[in-house]
Structure 1
Amino acid sequence: MMDENNSTALCGLQFVNKERWEAMTHNKERFLRNQLKDPRHFPNMNQAVAESWVRSRKLGVNPLDPLCCKYLDSKELKIVLDKNKLLIDITENLFNSFKKLVDSTGYLLYLFDKDGVLLLVSSLLYQNTEYDWLVGNPGKVCNESTVGTCAHVLSMRYKRPVQIIGPEQYCVALKNMIGSAAPILDENGEVIATLVLNQELVNPILDSNYQTLCIHTLGLIMAMTEAIQVQIELEKNNRYVRSVNSDLRLAYDTLEATLDCIDEGIVNVNQTGQIIRMNRHGLRIFNLESNQIANRNIREFLDENSCLIDFLVKGEKTSVEEIIRTNRDEQSYIIDIHPVLNQVTCQLTGAILRFNHVKKINAMVNSRSGAMARYNFADIIGESMTMKKAIDLGLRFAGLQETILLSGESGTGKEIFAQAIHNKCCPQGPFIALNCSALPRDLIESELFGYEAGSFTGADRSGRPGKIELANGGTLFLDEIGDMPLEIQPVLLRVIENKQVMRIGGRSYKKVDFNIIAATNKDFERVMAEGLFREDLFFRLSVLTIKLPPLRERENDVEILSNYFIEKYCRKIGRQVPRVQAAAKKKILRYSWPGNVRQLENAMIYAINVSQDNIITLECLPDAVLREKSGELNGKIATEREPSLISMASWEKTAIQMALMRTNNNIPLAADLLEISKPTLYRKIKTYNIKL
């Protein structure tokens, strides 16, 4: 069952793509036809909605009912209305402030008490129409036992804002409506009522602009509930002067309270940039008091290269990134510009500017793009001494300011280690990973440092932050660092040293604060000897180094990991864990696993899927595993052939391979082991075409 305090399950603020829309509709049809007994296990289902469907069915709610519902009798209704008089009065005045909006759009605003009794409805627009049932009168009881799943029912249950769309609502009568609801809480955080906005679905529902509008309606409801809560608290504590009761004054005060509840800077300016008013958060951004706004111009706080005023003069609706300078410091903000026109003359009078700190936007982008670390040290499996030593170093290095270099063969789990280190030292920050070998050389610079608008053909109009900016406050993980282009390396070194970054096409540096973890499977001695990597950058990246051991050096970890992967995959697909035949187990333990943990996991998944009678036999293992014979190189020199039948070249090649394997491709160590010079070893590696 879902935790009722789990807000992430009820976000509602996600765009509906075609796949999810079709899935929701299909799920609803199957559920109504009793083909879907438990919708909680079906893909693309909101768990809160699915659980409410199940409860609604158990409560006996008829999904085909036209929502006539039941009403309180006059005596019961009077008791409820008297009890909620202050709440109703405040909400009614707020509804009147939004009357033009509601009447012109066809929206319906409702106020329900904590038991689902309708206290107030905003519009009579639908009365005497086919939607007359939708309006209702005070006293109408609309809770989960009468109408089933709907926005205000879930909002009150989970004490969170909720928005649900057509087919998610239990009753078919609501299939063409979108419900947005937010709870009204008392000083103890308990629900006393809920505010609901219903809007009719329009086609196409998948249009991004329409979906954005739907998200904004939920934001409006949230702001209105905040305003109501503030007003109730003010009334209870006599903080407002009782003489200021006119509708105009109440509307103005409600607007002020609403704006102050928004955690974004809202600034009203005229077309020349003169500041007219700003909300509380805006005052904090500009380090001003409310009495210091008069005769101040937004130009005072902008960089000399700012283009904000140009957009104000043109009356252009757009978003720009600007640096705001105060007497304290400089901060980057994303500013949304919304022109304001005179309703009579349609002339431009100014604009509303909405300020969001770049850190906040970056955090949202990282969250939506999956830039989060999932693994912790507890998730790393292994009992070998070499792995325990690596884990111990990771725990000790986490939280230190120095850069960390993870070295190891492919498949040894370098990124998992990086995520575990990040979650140990700064779990709230972003984890930004960049594979230096996976991007074309001409794109890696813009990916790493970002770019300003118009820097090159095809660039975004408003520019784009790079991985370094997105990692601010968290960790930047540079995978396959040995493949970073040589010409970018000095720029990266400067960023690491100065903690400042300049975008491509930019004119000023931005301060950044992040941890760096780099990873490589290359021999840096050889790479630097070939002139492909700067020594100063290598030394800066390898202040703290952790060597991850290959699987063949991890003692009994092969058996532990193979059992873990078998159980994990069987649990995922809902299958009984198979028995591993002795011959197959022997092969698994003796195989060298050149692809390390990644290859072992893939081999176990393959074996499970080809096994029969719930037994993994030797034949179930992949061909690559079966082809390795006991006489092939597997951590030992081949012994099946007679020495007299092996050429000197073969002996020499085998000896080099053995030395490289034992030293994990470390050229200096391997040369010492073979008692030859490094240049000689490089030459023989090239002669025998040995892959490192």
Structure 2
Amino acid sequence: MLSENGSVALHGLQFVTKERWEAMTQNRERFLKNESENPCDFSAINQAVAESWIRSRNLGIDPFQTRIDKSLNSKELEGLLDKNKLLINITQKLFNSFKSLVDSSGYSLYLFDKNGVLLLFTGAFPQNVDYDRLMPGKIFNESTVGTCSHVLSMRYRCPIQIIGPEQYSIYYQNMIGSSAPIQDEKGELIATLVLNQELINPVLDSNYQKLCIHTLGLIIAMAEAIQVQIELEKNNQYVSSVNKDLRLAYDTLEATLDCIDEGIVNVDQTGQVIRMNQQGLQIFNLKPGQIAGKNIRDFLDANSSLMEFVAKGEKSSVEEMICTNKDEQSYLIEIHPVLTQNTQLTGAILRFNHVKKINAMVNSRSGAIAKYKFADIIGESKAIKEVIELGNRFAGLQETILLSGESGTGKEIFAQAIHNRRCSQGPFIAVNCSALPRDLIECELFGYEGGSFTGADRSGRPGKIELANGGTLFLDEIGDMPLELQPVLLRVIENKQVIRIGGRNYKKVDFNIIAATNKDLKKIMEEDLFRKDLFFRLSVLMLKLPALRDRENDVEILSNYFIKKYCQKVGRKTPLIHAEAREKILSYSWPGNVRQLENAMIYAINVSKDNTITLNCLPDNILSEKTGKFNGKDSTEEENILLSIASWEKTAIQVALMRANDNILVAAEMLEISKATLYRKIKEYNIKV
């Protein structure tokens, strides 16, 4: 885009952050919906683009039009093509030299005259666009399509690159346009050269943005090559000059490909290697002079299916082992077929990405997904509502939070809900301190520099703490954190700085801490297995999650929810629950809490018959639980006390049931106990209902 002084900023998409992308999209929507909005006031929108938006609206351009119908008549077109014959011939030769790469990459190349009339087109045909719209003679200028890259390039006589949200017309909304002017020896505008590429997801990926910078550089080089060639042609320096400038364009393309940190390899139908970029040479451990005679099959496993995919002539991807004289490495290979105009397969362009690189990108960019919010937590009991309300309050603070509760009570769900309430735009990085081997947890938390130990990635790897920068680090089962790492973790929390294993410099990190445990940390501290200073630092805010048995009627609510949810997932009709099965579900103690309840319901659905969950459909460990014992004690005195209390309790329940006409809910309200508790007591005292 243009800089403030009107010069060309070749950085293009390099500085497009997620925030700016969203701001540009919102600004465009505001401008289109409200005529009083002045886009020049939008900080995210370049002034040249904003001014063009205003002109486009004043010209009456419909931003939602999908057809460009304005064109020259046949006589006007014939005269224009004849006038620009030299320009078209030179550009056509250059287009042909790039056709294989352009077609396989999904790019489109356009040549417009100085008034925006289409002279030439090649490359991937845009989706949902009629063929006749890209015929020579169609008029694409500010008065027909509004703001786009070549419109601004013609106006300011300089290279331009703009992206989807900056385009005025929906016609270009999924495009990144790179344009460069073609001028004569006097500096007068002759034409404009355009390279359009479709937006990919994620558009903000750094490697993709770098590639967009290179495409702008490529279109500039092509425009300059055309300018030079026109001048040479006018001076009758045809043959030698054509070869020279085509070579310049070819070298520009080669340089562009070498800037890409992916292996790019061009092969024919038999797998014979035609060319490869610098990264490709490194992958196959070759030097430029060693390409001749090489076949891609020489580097593949005997069971490879790569060439089978190439033979199909379709875009696809496959993971393969690449074997060199050094070792074997796994790569994800994207296959782009190269077809003639008659759709005959001539070979393919292969893009190689190391699997480790892809995994590292996923780990370093996305982190874990925090999908739960407080609204997703199911339950109507007083206990769960109180802890949700407290969690909501804590989420508005920046202090560390310690979640405690039995296994299966939903500690990670609460952690995700707090994260989404507190900093939903940042990463949510979860670390299970009990699931990682002691010798790996340090690497996982703090990362390491390349060469720090045997087997380490050459480029190193960031740790979970680095990845949590700007978001939340969730330390699950914190009670199992190795004692020797606890002071290091405490120092990171206090100083908000981390140093990788083998590193020399500290890196600043800004993250929120949520820790969770199902253990009694105070008891562990008494055993000198957990540092008191770390405990006090983690437990600034404490949230104790209730066990399922303490959540009144939530067992019934949750069991119905899990049954309905699972049946919708697998496409089954929701089964009925037999009375005996329901009584057992409500009276069972659920030591595994919500997680155990959900698993039990899934089991019951899958073993049920006749669309009914019976008592025998429940897992054996639930059916085998005995009720009516006094904490497993055999003391006669305690049993006598129990019998004395039990007699009164049984009588009270029988009276309440009689007055409620055996309505469990009404009887429970009379007794001021939960329905689940009443079911359990009825079972315990063998009361007939």
TM-score by length of 1: 0.49
Report which of the two structures shows the higher radius of gyration computed on alpha carbons: 2
In the superposition, the TM-score normalised over structure 2's length comes to 0.49
